[in-house]
Amino acid sequence: MEQLEAGDIRDAAEKAWCAAKRATDALILARAGVEPERSPETSRQLNELAQRDPGVETLLGRFYSRQAQLHGECFYLGLCEPLDTTTRRIRETADYIADAEALAAPPA
């Protein structure tokens, strides 16, 4: 968020993507017992979990929007417009992380 407040939206977008990916990897580790080593493995394993759990399925679109728009388009290509949409996605990453953490927690 510091990067966003400082006006560096590209760096903020990449940091948000990395945080979302780490949270997703932690969810996969908690549920499947293995930590993905690369992004394609994260995507594949997240899809497999989503097929078995509707809660995980709610993460899919949010994960892929961060991968494509924050990581791919904004950070790598510099295509961050519209800024309000990119900023919203960055800010909402905290909600994504909280949801992934809740899904990773062992049942009570």
pLDDT digits (tens, 9 = 90+) for 95-108: 999 999 999 998 76
Domains in the chain: boundaries: 2-104
DSSP state of 67: I
Where residue 2 falls among pLDDT bands split at 50, 70, 90? Answer: low
Amino acid identity, position 75: F
pTM for this entry = 0.92
The two three-digit tokens of residue 48, written as one number: 């497999």
The two three-digit tokens of residue 51, written as one number: 């097929």
Integer Cα distance of 93 and 108 in angstroms: 25
CB within 8 Å of 72: residues ≥ 6 apart:
none
45 closest CA partner among 73, 21, 62: 21
pLDDT digits (tens, 9 = 90+) for 35-78: 999 999 999 999 999 999 999 999 999 999 999 999 999 999 99
